[in-house]
Amino acid sequence: METIAIKHTPVLHEVEIKLVASKSESNRALIINALSGNKSVLTNLSQARDTQTMLRLLSSEEETLDVLDAGTTMRFLTAYAALGTKNRILTGTHRMQERPIKILTKALKQLGAKVKHLKEDGFPPHQVIPIKNQKTEEVSIKGDVSSQYISALLMIAPSLPNGLVLKLKGKIGSRPYIQMTLDMMKLFGIKSTWTNNTIEIKPQPYQEYPYVVESDWSGASYWFSFVALAKEAKIKLLGLRQKSLQGDIAIVRIMNQLGVMSTFEEDGVVLQKIPHQKEVEFDFSDCPDLAQTVAVICGVKHIDCKMTGLESLRIKETDRIKALKKELKKINVKLKETEEGVWEIKSKYEPGQPEVSIKTYEDHRMAMAFAPLCTHQPVIIEDPSVVNKSYPSFWDDVAKATS
C-alpha cells in the first residue's frame, strides 16, 4: 500500500500557499452553466477529481455516468439528468453505492421524473428518466440530511416548467451551502425567496455571467491546523476573500478560539499564532467538513471540546465519526458521545511519540486533518492519493512548509 511519511516538524517555514479552487463553487457553476446552455466563461475551476469528473460527465454522451467517489457530482447530476433529453444511469464506487440518495430521487419522482434503483432501493446505481410533464411544483424534503440534495433541486428549479416551492422539514443542516447555491444562482440572474423553511423559485432563464471561482476554504482549514499546532508558524493563503460565499469561512471564527489569528490582505489571508482557549464548544451543523480538523487540534492541544451537528458525518466518504474515533485512539485521544448528538474530546496526548500510522478510509479529509500532527511527532499517512478528490497539490504544499 502506498504511504507518505512526514517527519517531525515543530517549526514551519514561512510560506505562501496558492490554494486550490473551491470544488463546491466549481461544481455549482458547472451545473448552472450547463443549464444555461454553457453561455458563460468560468475561470479558476478546481483541479480536484470531483470537479474534473463533473466536467467530463457533463459533456458525455454515454448512457451510464460513473461519478467514481464524488458525492456532490452524484447528487447534482442526478437532478440535472431529470431535465435531460435522454435516459441516464448514474453509478459510482462501492462506497458511493452505499451512500443513500432516496431523499433526492423521491423528490424528483414527485416532480415527474421516473427513477429506478437498479440494485438496492434508495441507493445508486439508478436510472433517471427525464421529466416530461411536471406533476407538482411543491416538494418537501428533510433539511438535516444533506444540503446537496437541496442544492441539486434548487439549481434545476428555474428550468422546471412551473418552478419550485421547496419546503425544508425540521432542522436545516449546512445552511451556508444552501445559501451559497442561491447566491451563485442570483449572480446568473435567478431570483428566489427564502422565508422560514420555504424556498420559492419561479421559472426563469439563467443569464450569462463571467464567474471566477474562489480558493477553497475547506482546503484552507488544514493550514489553520498546521499553524495552531506548530511551535512557530506564519502562513499566507492566497486567493481567499473576506466576503466569501463558502460556509467553511467559519474556520476563521473557530480558529480564533483555537490559537490562530487571521489577517485579510488584498490577495489572501495571513495566519499567525495567538493564545488558545482551554474549553470550547462548536456546532458543526453548518460546516461539517471542519469537524475532523478541529477534533485533531483539540486532541493534540488538550482543549476540552464539545461538538454537536455531526449527524451528516456518517454518510460521507466514510463514516467519519467511526473513523475519527479509531485514529484518535492511536494518539491517546477519545471522541465520546456523552449524550445523544453531543460529542466530547478528552485527551491524554503526549507529544514526541514515535511514528504513528494514520488510516484514511478512502476519505480525503481524514488524510488532511491528521497531516498537521507532524508538528508534534512523525506521521505516516496511508493511501495519501485520497487528497486528489479535493486538493491534489496538498502534499506538495505540505513539503514547502515542512521540508
Q: Each residue of 110-163: pLDDT tens digit?
A: 999 999 999 999 999 999 999 999 999 999 999 987 899 999 999 999 999 999
Has residue 344 got a pLDDT over 70?
yes
SS3 161: coil
pLDDT number for residue 311: 81
CA-to-CA distance for 62 and 13, rounded, in angstroms? 48
pLDDT number for residue 36: 95
Contact 4, 384 (CB under 8 A): yes
> Which residues 6+ apart lie within 8 Å of 61 measured at CB?
none
Which pLDDT band, with edges at 50, 70 and 90, does 222 fall under? very high
CA distances 164 to 7, 107, 146, 148, 351, Å, are 53, 11, 19, 16, 54
Q: What is the pTM of this model?
A: 0.87
CA-to-CA distance for 12 and 231, rounded, in angstroms? 8
- Can you say whether the dihedral through the CA atoms of 186, 190, 191, 194 is positive or negative? negative
Which pLDDT band, with edges at 50, 70 and 90, does 293 fall under? very high
CA distances 304 to 281, 297, 299, 325, 345, Å, are 8, 11, 8, 16, 6
pLDDT tens track for 346-358: 999 998 889 999 9
pLDDT number for residue 174: 84
How close are the terminal C-alpha atoms of the chain, in Å?
A: 23
DSSP 215: B
Which pLDDT band, with edges at 50, 70 and 90, does 345 fall under? very high
pLDDT tens track for 171-199: 898 899 999 999 999 999 999 999 999 99
pLDDT number for residue 144: 82
Q: Mean pLDDT over residues 244-255, rounded?
A: 96
pLDDT tens track for 275-289: 999 999 999 988 989
CA-to-CA distance for 269 and 278, rounded, in angstroms? 25
CA-to-CA distance for 240 and 104, rounded, in angstroms? 32
Q: What percent of the chain has pLDDT over 70?
A: 99
User: What is the average pLDDT score of the chain?
Assistant: 95
Beta bridge partners of 3: 382
Has residue 58 got a pLDDT over 90?
yes
Catalytic (active-site) positions: 289
pLDDT number for residue 313: 74
Question: What cell was used for 323?
Answer: 473513523
Provide the CB-side half-sphere exposure for 257 (13 A, CA). 14
Q: What percent of the chain has pLDDT over 90?
A: 90
pLDDT number for residue 317: 67
Largest CA distance in the chain: 65
pLDDT tens track for 294-338: 999 999 999 999 999 888 777 666 789 999 999 999 999 999 999
Cis? peptide before 125, omega within 30° of 0: yes
